[in-house]
Amino acid sequence: MALSRTWFLLGAIACLAVVLVGCDGDKEHKIVDGGGDTDTDADTDADTDTDTDVDSDTDSDTASDTHTASDTEGDGTLGEPCWNEYFPDDHPNAGLDDCVMELDCIGTAEEAWCTTECTITGEYNSEDEELDGWCCGEMSNPCDPIRYWMPETMDWRCIPRTAQPANPCDTELEWLGTNQRCAPICNGPDLVHETFCAEHGEDNFCTFQCDPIDGDGWCAFEAPAFAGGCCDEFLSTDFCLIPELCS
């Protein structure tokens, strides 16, 4: 079996969409993951990356990719479904070939494909006929992601993570070409805080979890955009909140 350079098995994406009456008593609130991915990186050097992004988006821009494992060859070439020992035995692609040496086999519990790295998150492939309609998505460490061309069924990862704390964010489950997820808070390549997109009526803003013991000023210290805000309960969890949501 040919071995690819890097193998990724993505976990299922959890989307928290619980509705609650918030601080002002008449607005609907939700927390939607603004970032995240839960990836397990297993490569031939036995390195393992585990990160806990939380995102809830799926792309459906101008892409027209209709590849499925059932209608392709699975011979390990570009754009074909694949499987290797890092995926479970009950994976839908179990028994298919691994990718040829210059390609990587990436996927989720439902699918896996032979692909290559790309450079710009959200960009569409215009060079490889086999990857027509595939977009450039992020995997692994949210603060230092590896980018791969991904099919339409995985294109939520193509939504750029550029929305800053306390700023507006999008909650669509598909890549629309202009929407953006919440950017992680990083110290270089190290994740400091994972972020979430909080829905406050018709207004969304990026936030992260906090501890009231640290005081309201902690949020502003971690992200100056929260100046005047607070650390308070929001959907049964403590988050940094914008001023109008503070008691």
Specify whether the CB–CB gap between 146 and 140 falls below 8 A.
yes
Residue 78 lies in a domain: yes
Q: Do 183 and 215 belong together in one domain?
A: no
Per-residue model confidence as pLDDT tens digits over 129-177: 999 999 999 999 999 999 999 999 999 999 999 999 999 999 988 999 9
Is the domain of 223 the same as that of 111?
no
**Rounded to an integer, what distance in angstroms lies between the CA atom of residue 227 and that of residue 217?**
7
Does a structural domain hold residue 41? yes
Query: Around Cβ 70, how many Cβ atoms within 10 Å?
Result: 8
Whether 183 and 145 share a structural domain: yes
Query: Could you give the number of structural domains in the chain?
Result: 2
Q: Do 17 and 134 sit in the same domain of this protein?
A: yes
Q: Do 114 and 127 fall into the same domain?
A: yes
In a domain, 27, yes or no: yes
**Same domain as 113, residue 221:** no
Quote the pLDDT of residue 36.
Answer: 52
Query: Residue 153: which of 169, 137, 130, 177 has the closest Cα?
Result: 137
Strand ranges (E), the chain: 6-10, 20-21, 28-33, 38-43, 48-52, 104-108, 112-115, 135-139, 146-150, 161-163, 181-182, 185-187, 190-193, 196-200, 203-207, 230-234, 237-241
pTM as predicted: 0.71
* Identity of the residue numbered 91: H
Nearest to 196 by CA among 46, 20, 54: 54
**225 and 128 assigned to the same domain:** no
Task: Look at residue 132 in the predicted model and tell me its pLDDT.
Answer: 95
Residue 171 CA to residue 181 CA, distance in Å, equals 7
55 vs 195: CA distance, rounded Å:
9
Residue with tokens 């040919």: 2
Q: What's the pLDDT at 208?
A: 97
- Do 174 and 186 belong together in one domain? yes
In a domain, 1, yes or no: no
Please enumerate in sequence order all residues whose Cβ is within 8 A of that of 127, keeping only pairs 6 or more positions apart, or say none. none
Same domain, residue pair 202 and 91? yes
Structure tokens at 225: 């955009």
Angle value at C-alpha 187, between 108 and 107, nearest 5 degrees? 10
Residue 17: inside a domain: yes
Note whether 11 and 128 are same-domain residues: yes
Would residue 79 count as lying in a domain? yes
Say if residue 230 is in the same domain as residue 143: no
In a domain, 70, yes or no: yes
Q: Where are the alpha helices (DSSP H) in the chain?
A: 217-222
User: What is d(CA 183, CA 34) in angstroms, rounded to the nearest whole number?
Assistant: 8
Ranges of the chain whose pLDDT falls below 50: 1-29, 34, 38-70
Please report whether residue 117 resides in a domain: yes
Q: Which range marks the domain in which residue 213 is found?
A: 209-247
Q: Specify whether 115 is located in the same domain as 181.
A: yes
